[in-house]
Chain A
């Protein structure tokens, strides 16, 4: 652990600073303390890293084993690499649950962003009577546990004849994403400069046009942050679909979301004793998240962190 990876500029700057102040004594003091601490830190940090990765890898490996091998010992390497659990998991429903989730999100995420931004924009930049109450009204929804609404929500969706329908779930997702989206975009729209807006007004652009052609493009960084938040939130949602997306009659098709489908598969595979299929299903469900995460990890970490602190 003697090599410290550093940006070249940073290392050079440090060297310069060290030679400029020329403090050999001080450096050695904190250096030896730091060295012990460094080994100590890496030890702990590595252990936690292993605790995170190991169960995940173990699960993925399980999808290449046979059910018998899984039951015999947890610590075995796949004896023969069986790849057939993946197509079987896909056929057991993971494929269609995956498609269902995608269908819902293709509509719910853009709609959340559009409606949330519209409301936030008007509330952030147009003073009118009732502005503050409406804003607080929107934001207050984030404070209440979803369980408070669950029973009446079920009957509301039932009355609208939208139980176990994609459009019903889409509207519910949009509505429940509203508090946070409005809250976040409101603070974002407030920071945008007014000069651009004024120029557009002088050019004769309408309010609607200014919103779509000037303000939305300018709000892109904010839209990306809150968009990531909504994608993760809606993709991982379990409680809302498990109440609203149940077949209503025997002939009604299953329109389960991926999260529900995994739990369904867990019950099913418990009876059929085919754990590799379950593990393969989870692996399939994890892959898109892993890809999205590794491509956007910086934005995701920053987005979720700032979202919490605001």
Chain B
């Protein structure tokens, strides 16, 4: 790159190209991120320009806040189940697609029409969460007009006089939301795993088959170890999604910014938004933002560590 280093006008060019992107990024991303830490130590309401420094008061109030603690627990529940269920289903289908075909001379082979399946499965990924919220709001309707209740009534599993109020049942609501996330995510991770599987050289499978390996063995001994990097990345991404959940909870469940019934579907993001935009507790909401950040970072680190395997080169 010496030619570049020596040509004229280089410094000005670099500065000229960096100044606008940097300025925007600093103003709207970095500076607000930094400010959050500062505001989290104040009792700022957002309404008045003045506020007092209150030290760790917001954080100690958070620890005592039953609603926030419940929300945290829900996030942790989702954090365990969303990645596990999504990845298991996605892996299962990805293996079906790529190795579930009729055995032939080539050994392992994908099913016919796997491209079509992938097109269909992936589609939810391009829909906005707002569309999903409306769609599943209708699916979970509490009368026979809801797809789920309508179907179960037809099968005779639900009494039409007492249909299930999916999103208003304290014990169901979180699982109903979890199903939406899984429905939405499986297609994407399936395509991801599928791409990773296809990059595994065919002769590895052939060698395994020659050694007399059955398909299940092939999967656990060959495919899965070679996919481990993608599985790990997916776990982190799904974990981050499980820490958020704002759109679905705030739009599908009852209450101001969702979380109902009686806080049974509350997540940290909805508590944060309610405190900020509804109760006007800007400083308190900032403390929640900081807690969310810390948890996200810890969880990414744990996932990456816990799922670390020896890297396989091929």
Contact call B17/A118, Cβ cutoff below 8 A: yes
Partner of A144 from B33, B105, B246, B272 at Cβ < 8 Å: B33
Kindly state the interface size class of chain A when it binds its partner: 35 or more
Q: In whole angstroms, what is the CA distance A138 to B26 when docked?
A: 9
Q: List residues of chain A with CB within 8 A of the CB of B24.
A: 115, 171, 174-175, 178
Interface: B62 (CB within 8 A): no
Tell me whether A152 and B147 are in contact in the complex, defined as CB-CB below 8 angstroms, given that A33-B215, A235-B128 are known contacts: no
Interface of A is mostly: helix
Contact A122:B237 (CB < 8 A) given known A52-B187, A297-B122, A305-B192: no
Contact status B192-A309, CB under 8 Å? yes
User: Which residues of chain B have C-beta atoms less than 8 A from A141's C-beta?
Assistant: 25, 29-30, 33
- B3 x A171 contact (CB < 8 A): no
A236 to B131, CA, bound (A): 9
Q: Residues of B contacting A29 with CB < 8 Å?
A: 103
Partner of B112, one of A5, A194, A286, A294: A5
Measured in the bound complex, the distance between the Cα atoms of B251 and A80 in whole Å is: 31
Q: A271: CB under 8 A from chain B?
A: no
Q: Of A52, A144, A206, which one neighbours B121 at CB under 8 angstroms?
A: A52
Q: Which residue of A lies closest to B257 (CB)?
A: A242
The answer to whether A178 and B104 touch (CB under 8 A), given A45-B93, A71-B143, A278-B134, is no
Contact B135 A55 (CB under 8 A): yes
Contact B105–A23 (Cβ < 8 Å): yes
Q: Is the interface of B mostly helix, strand, loop or mixed?
A: helix
Are B3 and A198 closer than 8 Å at their CB atoms? yes
Interface residue A102 (Cβ < 8 Å from any Cβ of B): no
Interchain CB contact under 8 A, A56 and B33: no
Which A residues are in CB contact (< 8 Å) with B16?
208
In chain B, residues 144-175, which have Cβ atoms closer than 8 Å to a Cβ of chain A? 144-151, 154
Q: A49 in the interface, Cβ–Cβ < 8 Å?
A: yes
A119 in contact with B18 given A48-B121, A207-B9, A305-B195 (CB within 8 Å):
yes
Residue B76, interface by CB 8 Å = no
Contact with A along B27-69 (1 / 0, CB 8 A): 1111111011001000000100000000000000000000000
Residues of chain B with a CB closer than 8 A to A132's CB:
none
Q: Spot the interface stretch: B79-87, B291-299, B306-314.
A: B291-299
Nearest CB in chain B: distance from A57 CB, A: 11
- A279→B141 CA distance, assembly (Å): 14
Tell me the complex Cα distance, A29–B36, Å: 64
Is A243 engaged at the interface, CB distance under 8 Å to the other chain?
yes
Which residues from A are CB-within-8-Å of B113?
5
- Structural contact, A45 and B28, CB atoms closer than 8 A: no
Given contacts A75-B151, A171-B28, A178-B21, contact A48 B131 (CB under 8 A): no
- The answer to whether A145 touches B276 (Cβ under 8 A) is no
A175 to B209 CA separation, bound complex (whole angstroms): 51
A214 at the interface (CB under 8 A from B): no
Contact residue among B104, B135, B192 (Cβ-Cβ distance under 8 Å from A27): B104
B278 lies within 8 A of chain A by Cβ: no
> When A45-B97, A145-B292, A239-B246 are in contact, do A155 and B46 touch as well, CB less than 8 Å?
yes
Assess whether A79 is interfacial by the CB under 8 Å rule: no
Q: B100 at the A/B interface (Cβ < 8 Å)?
A: yes
B137 within 8 A of A: yes
Enumerate chain B residues within 8 angstroms of A71, measured Cβ to Cβ: 143-145
B119: A residues at CB distance < 8 A: 294, 297
- What are 21 A-B residue pairs whose CB atoms fall within 8 Å in the complex? A18-B105, A41-B111, A42-B111, A44-B92, A72-B145, A115-B21, A137-B30, A149-B29, A150-B32, A150-B276, A151-B285, A152-B32, A154-B46, A175-B24, A179-B29, A197-B4, A232-B126, A239-B246, A262-B128, A275-B145, A289-B127
* Apart from the given pairs A153-B32, A239-B247, A292-B126, 16 other A-B contacts in the complex at a CB distance below 8 Å: A14-B106, A38-B102, A48-B93, A51-B183, A119-B17, A138-B21, A141-B29, A149-B29, A150-B285, A151-B282, A153-B28, A236-B126, A262-B131, A263-B133, A285-B131, A305-B191
